[in-house]
Structure 1
Amino acid sequence: MTEDHTFDGMIDTRLAMSSAGDGRPVLVEEGGRAVSVADFDRMTGQAAAWLRAQGVGYGDRVAVWLPNHVIWLALLFGAARIGAIVAAVNTRYRTAELHHILSSSGARLLVFESGDRHADFHAMIGALDFATLPDLTALAAIDAADLPPIQGVTVTHCTLDGVEPLPMQRASPTDPVMLFTTSGTTSKPKLVMHTQGSLSLHAYNCASAYGFDQQGASDLAAMPFCGVFGLNSALGALAGGAPIHVMPVFKLGPAIEIAKSAGITHFFGSDEMFRLMWQSDRSAFDHARLCGFGAFTPGLGGVLRQMAEAGLPLCGLYGASEVNALFSIQPLDMAIDKRLQGGGLPAAGKTAALRVRHPETGALCPDGEPGVLEIRAPTNFSGYFRNPAATAKAVDDEGYFHSGDAGYLRGDGSFVYLARNGDFIRLSGFLTDPAEIEEVIEGADGVAKAQVVGVTHEGKTRPVAFVLAEGGMTPDPDRVMAHTQSRLAHYKVPLMIVTVDAFPSTESANGLKIQKAKLREMAEARLAGTGA
């Protein structure tokens, strides 16, 4: 069958498989309800019709601020059907982060869940400055029909009940469909734009390269759909015919129960997720065929090796919003030490080209020599939304994406990912630019400037903030902390706020450079009780 690299094309392929006798569902919700291919096609058509009824048309952006849910995917596929674009919003985000995504994307509609036991999303939307969001004209909640207006904007109930489905349209692989948030300052976050073609082609590549298309395959969707890690694995499963077992959020007990009862074969998540599940009940992996992990937690290398030696099919992988998650995975037949490294063989096979460039000389590196990874593949992003300058800086004239990540080529078609370049911090599994936290802290009373570094505390990477006082004022650490807590996701809130007279710095060819390494040493000394 010829693959149609659109989202409707993926549904069409699954409908054909169903007509040929494949009765596997597309999704299985946490409560056990299975969503068949026909059901999902109908829901997609209903979501498309509902979006049109809200005034959403071709090229319009729809911000989706939801946990993993069947309606999340229905809205994405429904938007694709009418040529609209989804801007994904992490449910851990708070008002400041939400505002920047809405502003940068120019979203016309925001779909949200009114609240859960962790957050009041309705209240956070109410704290937005709507005067600076002229494109945002509609709001909708999936879980309530009687919410009061927010700053004069009616909150519609997002329900598909009784909606006449919109049939498949003539979508194009070049139609933009998704905006992911990547690292950048919160005033100008970069939104990574993918087309229907780049996401659906990558889904088919993943299906064949990672065994989603094999008999009996199934996927545990424990990572959030708002990021590439969660969405790409789900789309790969959908393209290959493997049922997606959806978890709204990862919880250890339910994850183990689903894995055992459904015989889950494919797991993707953080190293800590695998450690927790393995130590709690390793029989959860009795049917595991592939366990792709991101190395997000310091100090787990030895534990992961023990798990792999005991038979768990753990494999390191590589991905980024610009090139998709699951871009590559280390082969299972490699020696364990090599298999647990980041990187691997690209899902795109020979259609992907990788090279490594020396960061100082600019020369291309031979196999085995570390440098900065550059990647060209038909599944790469199409650019940073509304940011041609950033796109031109990241993608060269030959079409290679300059990842900024350190790694080296092995010479056998695979590569090894070593580390992110620069000062990015991996917090709670999310790659975070310290500037995002620093800008919010600098908005607190008494703070002139802020610098944030990551330190290891109780086995996890946590941010620590150093601040300079503003003209004659003395920042109150408790007030600064409260200021950040109300504006940032909890994992970005600093472990402590430290006021200093000056940041350690050194002169460089490009001007004064703040010594982040020195700040990190100062933070570690304070945590150890040896610093002033």
Structure 2
Amino acid sequence: MLDELVRRDPDATLAIDAHPERPITVRRAELRDRVQRLRTELADAGLGRGDCLAVWLPNWSDSLVFQFAAASLGAHVVGLNTRYNVEEVTHVLQRSRPAVLAIAHDFHGLDLIATLRDAVRTAGTTAPPPAVVVVPGPHGRPCEDPTHYDVGAGAWTPSDAAAPSPGAHEHDELAVAFTTSGSTGKPKLAAHTASAVVSHARADADGMGIRDSDVVLCALPLSGVFGFSTAMAGLAGGAACLLEPVFDEDGVVADMARWGVTHVVAADDMLTRIAAAWRRHALDLSRWRWLGIADFLGRSHEVAAWARDEFGTLTSGVYGSSEVFALACFWPDDEPAPRRWTGGGHLVSGEMQARTADPATDEVTAPGEQGELHLRGPNVVDAYLGSPEAAESSFTADGWFKTGDLAEIDEDGAIRYVCRIGDVLRLRGFLVDPAEIEHRLAAHPAVTTAKVVGARVGDGSTLAVGFVVLAPGEVATDQDLRDWCAAALARFKVPTAVHVLDRMPTTSGTNGTKIRAATLREWAQQWHAEVAR
């Protein structure tokens, strides 16, 4: 894919390393030359077919270079978020056993090497220490003493003098792995082959309408599946990737205007901050054509309407995961809003298939009926690093991947994501998507964020319990908010209680900030226990 881009136009911009004063543009031919030089160094360090390269870098063009160089050797990349702690790094070392680890030098005040040393000690004999490549980054200070980064297998900094070593590995090996959410236990590392990466990226680029001269915002970490899939789609379509190593909404909006961003993929938490920054600065974002949005905080419709009204941007809800890539499906341009703003859509490739089934029996459900979403095709996970037994529980007997998500599939094949199966509420015998109640609560003039979870009662039934954050200076009581829901929802969907919080409990991951539903469920259960006394 990279060679094809270079043949088409070697001088076209492939990446932009963002910086408020000193941005750096990277030409296609230049990046390929960097890939070839790094390929030689990694091969000299012993990295080869089937080996793992851990990449602990922010969104720098170096991250792309390491990905392409590793894949050309038949090795695969595991990305580490720069926010990872010792436990998370240890888990990756044990599962993936990287032969080499690329680490950011002197980035954003983070002491990554101290975390790595602690992780290597914690892993002990369960994972050999990796060789370390110290990467200063496009705007960083050179590392004068790479031996400081040696954790037992040597350390060095990439050299510009290495002789180019052209050529790609002839076999279709694993190329990349992503950490799963870990919602059902320890996170897994879902790995995909090189051909799957390329075919999915090309399908995404075609569906998103990406073409030469476009600019794709890459603000989500490339170590996560949403950031990675966005960048690969941009490259496959011939666009330039605007790489933001740190998310600062004011800086991102300024860069979007400066470089004429055309495509954005993000969750509603990040986009809400981008919208607020634009209102402060009112910069020209008129080139922004397409937005893929994931609803983590219940604000996706609000953001979609803002982008449409201000810039004419077409917004689509998206669906994906570490096991099936991000952007596995989204809505066509002619799908009317607001349905187009919801999670789901059409599969991006004709080689992919979807069905829904009873979560307990795997018996296939009819079109329009809710069931667990099953997928198969080249985008589906090829292996779980360090955990081959994980595939046994992840696939049906006839070879379909079980996503763990509740969905509906229409007659025309459109997929409507409902929620995680563990989040669905059974209220008075009916299955209810909590998002339906959340959207009603969020529509209240005083509410900025809403989340609804279930609390189990003594007879085994479930109560819907809401949690909201109010806008500054606003006041709304539990009764006010329940009355508001009752005016538009069926009686059995009205929350038994709505609690007002100063802020939601959240967790920040590679794909964005999510509300910690498990914590809210604990609070809801505690509330019910106190009321029942």
Distance 1:64 1:231, change over 3 A: same
Distance 1:423 1:151, change over 3 A: farther
Q: Which amino acid aligns with 1:14?
A: L
2: CA distance, partners of 1:100 / 1:134: 10
User: What corresponds to 1:344 in structure 2?
Assistant: 345
- Is the Cα contact below 8 Å between 1:138 and 1:154 reproduced in 2? yes
Per-residue deviation, 1:171: 2.8
2:523 to 516, 520, 530: 520
The answer for unaligned runs of 5 or more in structure 2 is: 137-142, 425-433, 436-464, 470-500
Per-residue deviation, 1:193: 0.8
2:219 to 182, 202, 222: 222
TM-score normalised by L of structure 2: 0.76
2:131 to 138, 155, 160: 138
Q: Determine whether 1:83 maps to 2:74.
A: yes
2: CA distance, partners of 1:531 / 1:251: 46
Per-residue deviation, 1:206: 1.2
User: What corresponds to 1:156 in structure 2?
Assistant: 155
1: CA distance, partners of 2:467 / 2:125: 36
Question: Residues 474-513 of structure 1: matches in 2 within 5 Å?
Answer: none
- Is the Cα contact below 8 Å between 1:455 and 1:462 reproduced in 2? no
2: CA distance, partners of 1:176 / 1:232: 16
Distance 1:416 1:306, change over 3 A: same
2: CA distance, partners of 1:516 / 1:222: 28
2: CA distance, partners of 1:494 / 1:318: 20
- Is the Cα contact below 8 Å between 1:179 and 1:194 reproduced in 2? yes
- Is the Cα contact below 8 Å between 1:68 and 1:248 reproduced in 2? yes
1: CA distance, partners of 2:184 / 2:100: 21
User: What corresponds to 2:370 in structure 1?
Assistant: 370
User: What corresponds to 1:388 in structure 2?
Assistant: 388
Distance 1:360 1:160, change over 3 A: same
Distance 1:105 1:328, change over 3 A: same
User: What corresponds to 2:399 in structure 1?
Assistant: 399
1: CA distance, partners of 2:304 / 2:346: 20
Per-residue deviation, 1:304: 3.9
Q: Which amino acid aligns with 1:336?
A: A
Q: Determine whether 1:243 maps to 2:234.
A: no
What's the CA shift string for 1:30-62, capped at 9, x where partnerless? 143221111111111111111122221221111
2:33 to 29, 42, 53: 42
Q: Which amino acid aligns with 2:204?
A: C
Q: Determine whether 1:29 maps to 2:17.
A: yes
What's the CA shift string for 1:88-116, capped at 9, x where partnerless? 11111111100010111011222111443
Equivalent pairs counted in the alignment come to: 448
- Is the Cα contact below 8 Å between 2:297 and 2:514 reproduced in 1? no
Q: Determine whether 1:233 maps to 2:230.
A: yes
User: What corresponds to 2:416 in structure 1?
Assistant: 416
- Is the Cα contact below 8 Å between 2:362 and 2:396 reproduced in 1? no
- Bigger Cα displacement from structure 2, 516-525 vs 113-122: 516-525
- Is the Cα contact below 8 Å between 2:296 and 2:513 reproduced in 1? no
Distance 1:253 1:312, change over 3 A: same
Question: Residues 176-255 of structure 1: matches in 2 within 5 Å?
Answer: 176-184=174-182, 188-213=186-211, 215-255=212-252
Distance 1:407 1:460, change over 3 A: farther
1: CA distance, partners of 2:195 / 2:294: 25
- Bigger Cα displacement from structure 2, 295-304 vs 134-143: 295-304
User: What corresponds to 1:267 in structure 2?
Assistant: 264
Distance 1:81 1:132, change over 3 A: same
SS of structure 2 residue aligned to 1:387? coil
Per-residue deviation, 1:199: 0.5
2: CA distance, partners of 1:107 / 1:158: 17
- Is the Cα contact below 8 Å between 2:202 and 2:237 reproduced in 1? yes
Question: Residues 288-327 of structure 1: matches in 2 within 5 Å?
Answer: 288-298=288-298, 301-302=301-302, 304-308=304-308, 311-327=312-328
What's the CA shift string for 1:263-287, capped at 9, x where partnerless? 1110111112222222332645311
Per-residue deviation, 1:155: 5.5
Distance 1:54 1:225, change over 3 A: same
Query: RMSD of the alignment, in Å?
Result: 3.5
Per-residue deviation, 1:371: 1.4
1: CA distance, partners of 2:247 / 2:266: 10
What's the CA shift string for 1:458-483, capped at 9, x where partnerless? 6864169xxxxxxxxxxxxxxxxxxx
2: CA distance, partners of 1:332 / 1:309: 16
What's the CA shift string for 1:298-350, capped at 9, x where partnerless? 355445445445533221000111110011112232221101110012211x2
Per-residue deviation, 1:385: 2.0
Per-residue deviation, 1:145: 3.4
- Is the Cα contact below 8 Å between 1:224 and 1:230 reproduced in 2? yes
SS of structure 2 residue aligned to 1:373? strand
1: CA distance, partners of 2:46 / 2:412: 51
- Is the Cα contact below 8 Å between 2:293 and 2:300 reproduced in 1? no
- Is the Cα contact below 8 Å between 1:198 and 1:379 reproduced in 2? yes
User: What corresponds to 2:85 in structure 1?
Assistant: 94
2: CA distance, partners of 1:87 / 1:421: 28
2: CA distance, partners of 1:84 / 1:518: 42
- Bigger Cα displacement from structure 2, 65-74 vs 405-414: 405-414
SS of structure 2 residue aligned to 1:62? strand
- Is the Cα contact below 8 Å between 2:78 and 2:176 reproduced in 1? yes
- Is the Cα contact below 8 Å between 2:269 and 2:513 reproduced in 1? no
- Is the Cα contact below 8 Å between 2:351 and 2:378 reproduced in 1? yes
2: CA distance, partners of 1:321 / 1:208: 21
1: CA distance, partners of 2:522 / 2:516: 14
The answer for unaligned runs of 5 or more in structure 1 is: 1-9, 427-452, 465-484, 496-514
Q: Which amino acid aligns with 2:292?
A: G
Per-residue deviation, 1:361: 5.6
Q: Which amino acid aligns with 2:193?
A: T
Distance 1:38 1:531, change over 3 A: farther
User: What corresponds to 1:279 in structure 2?
Assistant: 276
What's the CA shift string for 1:239-268, capped at 9, x where partnerless? 111111111122212211121111111011
What percent identity do the matched residue pairs reach? 27
